[in-house]
Amino acid sequence: MDIDTFKPTFLIQIEGQTLSADITQEITSFVFEDNEEELDVLELAVTDRNLQFVDDPLFQEGNEIVARFGYVGNLSPRKKAVIKDIDYDFPEDGDPTIH
């Protein structure tokens, strides 16, 4: 398998557990805001077609997230965050999503 070194990538751990491929492939949005005068913000959106993540102990308020992002071979230093808010979106059309 060829590795695309020009494709943005990220590595995420929650509570010390690296997210498996079945979860990371469902991440539809990854946003990190580096704030100098406020707390940094990390936002994820995860598609949850089968509602398998709704009660997953990883996606709970208070859990620590460690993320690295960038490109293959050139990832950022570790960024730490704590899950503060979890929102569930259950649209009439489309897949349920966790934010």
Residues 31-51: tens digit of each pLDDT? 988 888 888 888 999 999 888
Non-local (6+) Cβ contacts of 45 within 8 A are: 27, 28, 29, 97, 98, 99
| DSSP label at residue 58 | T
Q: Are strands 64-71 and 74-75 parallel, antiparallel or unpaired?
A: antiparallel
Chain length of the chain: 99
Band of pLDDT at residue 1, cut at 50, 70 and 90: low
Say what the pLDDT of residue 21 is. 85
As a whole number of angstroms, the distance between CA 82 and CA 42 comes to 9
Domain segments of the chain as ranges: 8-98
Say what the pLDDT of residue 46 is. 93
Average pLDDT over residues 15-21: 92
Other residues' Cβ atoms within 10 Å of the Cβ of residue 9: 17
